[in-house]
């Protein structure tokens, strides 16, 4: 299977465009375009930039960006995007679990604090 970067690089070469041509047309620095073509997404700071650059580059090459973006999200371990923009059901469950755990930790901490304060300020009788 061809990688994300290889797909874009192959199409760019097929169109006989250089990295400098793409840089000039899209106003995306050559170092980022090169990183994308090497699948070195960690060289681009910020997921939003990676997604934006991928989409812009693919569209400029007349390549459907959605399969590339989906592949990127899977490889980066990013939650799949639903058509309505909401978080997927599985991620929603994880968020609810984290909130429950946090609430329990805070509750136990509050109980311990109250017990400690009661022991410190109780009259010695």
pLDDT, one tens digit per residue, over 33-91 is: 999 999 999 999 888 999 999 999 999 999 999 999 999 988 888 766 566 666 556 66
User: Across the chain, which distance is largest between two alpha carbons, in Å?
Assistant: 91
Backbone φ and ψ for 98, nearest 5 degrees, come out as -65, -40
Q: Where are the domains of the chain?
A: 4-76, 87-125
Is the separation of the CB atoms in 92 and 57 below 8 Å?
no
What pTM was computed for the model?
0.63
Assigned CATH class of 4-76: mainly alpha
- What's residue 122's pLDDT? 82
pLDDT range class, residue 92, cuts 50, 70, 90: low
- What's residue 76's pLDDT? 84
């Amino acid at each position: 299977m061809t990688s994300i970067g290889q797909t874009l690089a192959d199409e760019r070469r097929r169109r006989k465009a250089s990295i400098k041509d793409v840089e000039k047309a899209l106003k995306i620095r050559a170092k980022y375009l090169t990183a994308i073509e090497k699948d070195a997404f960690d060289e681009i700071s910020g997921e939003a930039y990676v997604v934006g650059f991928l989409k812009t580059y693919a569209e400029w090459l007349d390549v459907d960006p959605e399969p590339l973006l989906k592949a990127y999200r899977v490889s980066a371990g990013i939650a799949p995007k639903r058509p309505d923009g909401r978080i997927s059901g599985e991620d929603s469950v994880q968020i609810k679990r984290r909130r429950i755990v946090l609430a329990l930790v805070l509750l136990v901490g509050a109980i311990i604090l109250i017990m400690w304060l009661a022991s410190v300020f109780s009259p010695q009788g």
